[in-house]
Chains A and B, each alone.
Chain A
């Protein structure tokens, strides 16, 4: 299972660095050739990425061609925005190290810490 996750990241990197939509065959040919990979494995990975809405696909002849839904930076930023925004409502989904405080409370904390250091 871990292997498949790693391959997902590699396939996504291929899509992100491409300038146009890629077919399964094109992705397979672009992947680093460190070991033999089956066409169907890459097809499954691309299908998963599409199902998770990370990649979009369009018909090219009889095959599907895949492109990333968002750029790499936008993808990461959107996930981080989700992660940082869920803090209040769904406390149990992700566990944050610390919540973000309004400036006056943050100043109060800094004063506390400074007093301790003196």
Chain B
């Protein structure tokens, strides 16, 4: 009972703290990859804690399930039941188990659906564009004849960077190199996986403010990370200029305009080079991420660990 309550309390505390401290955090803009990692740790820790809370409530059901009360298994189950006892008894156990299964099932189904949909969309783009692309104009990229300026990548196997003739004509050679390097950084950083997981979680629980904030922030931070990787190939101001050119042309038909997207922040960031995040701050954030990852398991296992310790100590004391 205590473990379940502690887990729910932990999940709530992590959610509240994250929503207060993480969105638009200045340090995450300076170290975007660490920012993504932190958001991921939070969005894993919260649902995992809730699922574990449900399972902790269900532990007392164990002896009933095994039906064996004499063997080692039975003894273990009995011991566990004693330490995870709830006043709610069987009813609380069944409710906890059902809740845990429902939440994890929902997340799994959403993830599977998301993966299926993006894989189909990517295959369609890859197969279709392969028929009309030129490969001899820009090394490593497909060139598509189109009057709309666009550069994007299709993740997957094989991954592909795509650029339109209109985009090539508005960019200088330096800007072109940087824009393509940005897309390559998306692919080598496997940013699509981070985006897919975040989108799947958000879709599974559309009313969660935490998961919505995580999806939005992760989308912004992977762009900034790709920008940081790309500027290794040229000037920051050139990448900023490329962003402005492609984000700000006249809007052709069929193109969605993104209100308040990360483009403005990205340009500001490229023009004002801030100092790197101090090493000490990096380490403390990484430590926090590690703690977030193991804390739910430790809390869930605390009663069992306590039982083992108590047995061990009493044996040690009496001999």
Contact = CB atoms under 8 A, between A and B. Distances in A.
Contacts of B145: 76
B251 interface: yes
Nearest to B230: A97
A96 B254 CA distance: 15
Interface stretch (B40-48, B100-108, B204-212, B236-244): B236-244
B248 A116 contact: no
A118 interface: no
Interface stretch (A35-43, A56-64, A98-106): A98-106
Contacts of B148: 80, 84
Interface in B69-92: none
Contact of A85 (B186, B249, B256, B271): B256
Contacts of B247: 98-101, 105-106, 109
B243 A109 contact: yes
Interface string A50-91: 001010000000000000000010011101111111111011
Contact of A83 (B125, B251, B262, B268): B125
Contacts of B191: 95
B188 to A, nearest CB: 12
B137 to A, nearest CB: 15
Contacts of B246: 97-98
Interface in B233-275: 237, 240-244, 246-249, 251, 253-264, 266-268, 271
Given A12-B131, A84-B148, A105-B263, A95 B153 contact: yes
B29 interface: no
A73 to B, nearest CB: 8
Contacts of B114: 92
A54 B248 contact: no
A113 B122 contact: no
A85 B293 CA distance: 36
A21 to B, nearest CB: 18
Contacts of A102: 251, 257, 259
A5 interface: yes
Given A75-B128, A93-B122, A102-B259, A83 B243 contact: no
Nearest to B216: A91
A99 B248 contact: no
Contacts of A117: 237
Contact of A9 (B131, B144, B182, B248): B131
Contacts of B183: 95, 97
Contact of A95 (B121, B129, B164, B192): B192
Interface string B143-178: 011101011111100000010100000000000000
* Closest CB pairs A-B (n = 9): A106-B248, A99-B258, A92-B195, A81-B254, A97-B151, A92-B196, A93-B121, A99-B261, A76-B132
Given A9-B130, A80-B146, A83-B125, A92 B254 contact: no
A61 B248 CA distance: 55
A84 B256 contact: yes
Contact of B118 (A93, A99, A110): A93
Contacts of A90: 117-118, 121, 199
Contacts of A107: 248
15 contacts: A9-B132, A12-B131, A80-B254, A84-B148, A84-B255, A85-B256, A94-B152, A94-B153, A95-B191, A95-B195, A98-B261, A101-B257, A109-B267, A112-B244, A113-B244
B311 interface: no
A39 B246 CA distance: 46
